[in-house]
Amino acid sequence: MKTALVWFKNDLRVADNASLYNAVKNCDRVISVYCFDPKLFAKDQFGFKKTERYRAKFLLETVQDLKQNLANLNISLLSFEKSPEIALLEIVRKYNITDIYLQKEWTAEETESIKNVKDNLKTEKIDFVETYDQFLFHPNDLPFSIAALPYVFTDFRKKCERNCKVKNTVNISKLSATNKLENINDLPSLNNLGFENFETDHRSAFPYKGGETEALKRLQYYFWESKKLSYYKKTRNGLVGEDYSSKFSAWLANGSISAKTIYEQVKSYEKEVAKNDSTYWLIFELIWRDYFKYVSLKHGNNIFKLGGILNKKYNWNNNSDLIEQWINGQTKEAFVNANMLEIKQTGWMSNRGRQNVASYFAKELELDWRIGAAYFEAMLIDYDVHSNYGNWLYVAGVGNDPRDRKFNVKLQAKRYDPNQKFQNLWLQNQLF
């Protein structure tokens, strides 16, 4: 008898989930687990919590929804507030697990966690099945080796568009009721994870809850109900409100929705409603997301190093006053300040905002870009290791930007916030 354990990490969905699909297909019984690893909430080398309250709350909502969606398939989700190596050993012994299914990861902390689990289970004779399941274009389908990944995004995109086919999504069938476990434990609360409860700021451009159900609701709204997808290319540089861009990032980051699901829906929309520059552009952005994943797959831990993937030497400083002013929205630039107050009070910032505040941090203040990236890691609801570090490298001039540009923040503010609507939203009534 084969009993599978699906170990959920950043693939917190039941639709189009390769690990779940393979476990259900290949095993007689399926159990699943999520660990709220204390390491996720510990402090990093710069003194920031690795996960702040916004993403912690979103994660709890996500796992709650996952648990319900799995229950509908007669699969139980166990949850633990301990490190995976301890939790998984307990489960393996208690339920006679034979196979563990998980999403394949490659960045330092994630691989260390997986290695610790494997080390702890050495004597248990477990088969580990690890699958890449976070991409649009699957690594096996690339027309080049990872080592030969194009240095420039456009080359990568064109080669993939010409030669790769996005794989179809997979669906999981319901198991019999006997697969369910009795008496499974409750999820922790936000307090248990070390945070006070809080209300979402009414100005937030991202007032959404976590979970697959919410992700699909947002997709339904953004594509089919409002048809905003048809205007995405025109609005995507916006700063205020919920609809200037898709807002899929947070659900994509923790895997509540797959990039392939979004891709399939864009293709259906193009057939049933209309195909235009905007529908294509959403796919274009998903290819950027893939690109940063491949950059980190190719360059490994260099994405976390000061010299980046280019091993460039610049003069960086770590002046703590300048860092505090940036974090608290007290720099000389009102546009930077408005964006920094937005992230501080909501865990969200637009792409335009991120580019400007990161460029200001790294290029204007010449601060060690890894500190800015670590602050984003703590605060962002949609933090994704590859997208965050990839974008920071790029903006800081140690990544894949052949132009190595610096944003002119004043001009950017004039162009993208001509009536100061965004700046007023965050700076009015602000006490300095």
List residues near ligand FAD by CB under 6 A: 236, 245-249, 252-253, 282, 285-286, 288-289, 292, 350-351, 354-355, 358, 376, 380, 382-384, 387-388, 391-392, 395
Whole-number minimum distance, CB 385 to ligand FAD, in Å? 8
Token readout for 15 is 């639709």
Q: What is the gyration radius of the CA atoms in the chain, in angstroms?
A: 22
Is 253 or 334 the residue whose CB approaches ligand FAD more closely?
253
Is 16 or 382 the residue whose CB approaches ligand FAD more closely?
382
Whole-number minimum distance, CB 74 to ligand FAD, in Å? 32
Is 84 or 372 the residue whose CB approaches ligand FAD more closely?
372
Whole-angstrom distance, CA of residue 260 vs CA of residue 266: 10
Is 180 or 236 the residue whose CB approaches ligand FAD more closely?
236
What angle, 0 to 180 degrees and rounded to 10, lies between the N-to-C axes of helices 351-359 and 369-379? 150
Contacts of 235 (CB under 8 A, 6+ apart): 228, 243, 244, 245
Contacts of 252 (CB under 8 A, 6+ apart): 258, 259, 262, 289, 382, 384
Whole-number minimum distance, CB 305 to ligand FAD, in Å? 17
Is 195 or 208 the residue whose CB approaches ligand FAD more closely?
208
Is 91 or 336 the residue whose CB approaches ligand FAD more closely?
336
Whole-number minimum distance, CB 84 to ligand FAD, in Å? 22
Length of the chain: 432
DSSP per-residue letters across 317-384: B--HHHHHHHHTT-SS-HHHHHHHHHHHHHS---HHHHHHHHHIIIIIS-B-HHHHHHHHHHH-TT--
Whole-number minimum distance, CB 353 to ligand FAD, in Å? 8
Is 54 or 248 the residue whose CB approaches ligand FAD more closely?
248
Whole-number minimum distance, CB 350 to ligand FAD, in Å? 6
Whole-number minimum distance, CB 252 to ligand FAD, in Å? 5
Nearest CA to 377 among 287, 253, 218, 215? Answer: 253
**Phi, psi angles (nearest 5°) of residue 210:** -80, 160
